[in-house]
Chain A
Amino acid sequence: MPYREKIAWLSLTAMALAYIPYFTIINAGYFPPRPMPDLHQIGFLGAVSVARVLLLGIGYLLIRHGSPQEASIPPDERDRAIESRSVGAAYYVLMAGMILVGCFMPFSSTGWAIVNATIFMIVVAEVVRYGLAVYNYRRQA
Chain B
Amino acid sequence: MMAPSAPNTGSISNRIRTLRFHHGEMSQAELGERIGLTRQTIAAIEAGKYSPTLEAAFRIADVFNVQLGEVFQWDANASGRSQT
Contact = CB atoms under 8 A, between A and B. Distances in A.
B51 to A, nearest CB: 10
B50 interface: yes
A78 B37 CA distance: 8
Chain A contact patch, size range: 10 to 19
Interface stretch (B9-17, B20-28, B38-46, B66-74): B38-46
Give the dominant DSSP class at A's interface: helix
Given A78-B84, A81-B84, A140 B37 contact: no
B56 A77 contact: yes
Closest 7 CB pairs of A and B: A78-B41, A140-B49, A140-B44, A2-B40, A76-B37, A140-B50, A76-B38
B77 interface: no
B84 A141 contact: no
